[in-house]
Structure 1
Amino acid sequence: MVRAFFDEQTNTISYVVSDPATRHAAIIDSVLDFDQASGRTATTSADAIMAYVEDEALTIDWLLETHAHADHLSAAPYLQQKLGGKLGIGRAITQVQDVFGQLLNAGAEFVRDGSEFDRLFDDGDQFEIGGLQASVLHVPGHTPADMAFVIGDSAFVGDTLFMPDFGTARADFPGGDARQLFRSIRRLLSLPPQTRLFLCHDYKAPGRADYEWETTVIAQREANVHVHDGIDEDAFVAMRQARDATLAVPRLILPSIQVNIRGGKLPAPEANGIRYLRIPLDAL
């Protein structure tokens, strides 16, 4: 069973995936509320997930991150403390940690070996959610560390794809690569045609009234405006690079990345009891 939670402030969809037979579940791409102007965090979004888990009497086995998000802070540590479960992400998170560790001038205490996470997934890894079998696909391009989680007849594809009328993710972040993204998407679209694809974001394409986040492989192959069948790699790369050149830096990239590369853990309080985030000037 899949239950979606939409956070309109960041256009992010989080998911709880559960096995009805055993009541075991995984939480994918949770959101910690963050008001940039005041620097305040809140757990409203995460608490809605927690309430659902408790109402359904679910046992959380996993807290999964499809990648280190640049548009919201992860609530995984908060949910893990409340509900248990192991925190997992792709092994290439170490590449992202290294790039942004340098940008943020992180000290020697930031080891950059992925040890903030309980499990670093490799391509092809398999795991279980109760009686559900899950497998992992490494789908880099948006970032080096993007992973898709294939669970039953569904795939949770992170930021690789949007709804068919909106297209595909950007590939201009450090370590991103439009050619890799195309190949990763084609890999996802080689899954069985009726595979349900659950997306991490929706921004409502022009003319569409409602937010949407579930589609299928066949729908993407037939109608994705950027990468439907018949679009070749060179044409996609040219389109993606031209489009990315027009996009603004995500509003929350600096707060999000420095928290998410640490597994969602907030910085430790300093001597005055206050936590601080770093904002590098003139660096992006």
Structure 2
Amino acid sequence: MSNEREQDFIFTDADFRRVVNIIYARAGIRLNESKQSMVYSRLARRLRALNLEKFSDYLNFLEAEPKHEEWQQFTNALTTNLTFFFREKHHFEMLSDQLHKLHGPVRIWCSASSTGEEPYSLAMTAVEAYGRLRPEVEIIASDLDTHVLSKAKNGIYSMDKLDKVSPERCKTFFLKGKGENIGQARVRKELREMIEFKQINLLAHSWPLTPYFDAIFCRNVMIYFDQATQRVMLEKMGRLLKPNGLLYVGHSENLHHMSEWFHSCGKTVYRLTDKAIHEWGLSK
């Protein structure tokens, strides 16, 4: 890459390799060679903010200050947050079927909530399944990126973000902005109150979560981790599931390497095996 290209900041191949190693150690995110331009464009904003000229100076600064708040900015910049409402709609149809069979308080964890479209889609599904705006459903929505969590908590979206939401759902679940807020819509208060947003690093030794969940959504997350990291993370998630709970993963992900603990029960949806339930001390 590098000095030969016209750039505002000096960014060498060695700098890119350092970024790759640092973000993997920090967040478990694997970046391949095709991400060099993305890394440059996203981190260049941080160099401008800190008035630095070279990526090496920025990386040296981070490594010299392991607890500095800039680490969060660095991590936020390299986190991918592609999402939209009701993405992979078959999962929400299956969740609706699951909810119809459950009685009493229901708990759902959305482990990569991004800007909020996924947890709000979960909330809408719950409202429709139970036929009331305040069902007994608690949703924990977590992400590593503090910026997207803040946006998600506000629940405000431009109207183009609602293109994939039916007119009926738009009318039921969103309030259109007026005056200076025209062109935007906000998720209804009742849905926002169903969701608790938390910052969670899935690589952390422990998660600030209370067992047990009826459903865990971990979609399009594992693609960023190597298989050894996936195994650790998925086993921890499995131990947080109720015996009949479901784990929903992304369209390009599978748990074949975790067949000891999970078995498929639908398109990229998994249940705990009897062995997992027995060895982890769960009971049906």
Q: TM-score, normalised to structure 2's length?
A: 0.30
- Kindly indicate which of the two structures has a greater share of residues assigned to strand: 1
- Kindly indicate which of the two structures has a greater share of residues assigned to helix: 2
Indicate the structure (1 or 2) with the bigger Cα radius of gyration: 2
